Amino acid sequence: MSRFGGRLQPVKMRARNFRIRSVLIFLVILAVTSAVCAARVHRTPTSQSLVPAALSSSSESNPGPELPCGKDPIPPFPALDDSPVIRSWNEAEFGRDWIPPICTGWTTLGFTSLVTTAARFRYTNEATIMLQHIGAISSLAGIRYWSTTHKRWQVLISEACALNEAAPGSRRGDFTPDEMKEGKTLYFEQVDNLSGKGLYQMHIVKASPDQIIFEVENVSIIRRMFIPIFHAGEMQSIYFLERESDGVWRYYSMVRTGKNANHLITKNESSLINRTVALYRYLVGIPSDQEPPAAR
């Protein structure tokens, strides 16, 4: 024991000194880190970072879209014969829990994509003729839009038919104006060039000589290559058509995909705008592939 004792003692002392120095170094680092963090907190303006994005006031700087439900719409209607005002809204502007305008009747919060269209257009026929056009589901087949991916006009809807009920085997003829009464829910099927085949419902909110309001949403799961991209109710749109004066009508639409929708379809903003404009052109009687497209 005496042979090795002289060597073990210095080793033990060095180990103890190393542990002491390590503890001291750790305490110094901890003190410096705390001081830096405190300085950063002190320099952070109170107007930033402590208010969640979803709770920040957007009513003054960015009020968001507003439907023409007794209010001036946002975006506003353009002048007659001007191009429609199309706006794609960013989720980052409102947070994931954006609250839809009350008059949509939509109960789920948030969105993945949100596009609004405001326009004025010339129309001299009666509202019943417009209702007949809206109810002509089979005429949706062949609508074209500008594909920003392929840089050419493409067919948006390849097939479409009215249904007696929310079942694929219940095909029937197009809906008549007499069937499109206020409060009525009608069903149809269509094949979209991206989202494929799906079942949809059209709810007639208003049908009067001076105003037509209707909503559309999917009632089936929409799949692409067997992958669900939209669950039921995740593709919603609402359309307002209102007589302004003899021969002049106003148009406003809001198209939304839910916040849980698959980004495979919703990530291309320009394509979504062009697809929305194609439906606007169809509804107001403009060739859907008329140059120029809304977005290149």
Q: What is the mean pLDDT of residues 64-91?
A: 92
Residue 267, C-beta contacts closer than 8 angstroms, at least 6 positions apart: none
Q: What is the pLDDT of residues 135-179, one digit of tens each?
A: 999 999 999 999 998 899 999 999 999 999 999 889 999 999 999
- Provide the whole-model pTM: 0.77
Rg (CA), the chain: 30
Q: Is it the case that residue 4 has pLDDT exceeding 50?
A: no
Question: Percentage of the chain with pLDDT > 70?
Answer: 77
| Mean pLDDT across the chain | 80
Query: Where in the chain are the domains?
Result: 1-50, 53-284
159's tokens:
């097939």
CATH number of 53-284: 3.30.530.20
Q: What is the pLDDT of residues 211-222, one digit of tens each?
A: 999 999 999 988
Confidence of residue 267 (pLDDT cuts 50, 70, 90): low
Q: What is the pLDDT of residue 43?
A: 32
Q: What is the pLDDT of residue 32?
A: 38
Give dist(CA 203, CA 181) in Å, integer: 9
Q: Which residue has the higher pLDDT, 73 or 56?
A: 73
Residue 260: DSSP 8-state: T
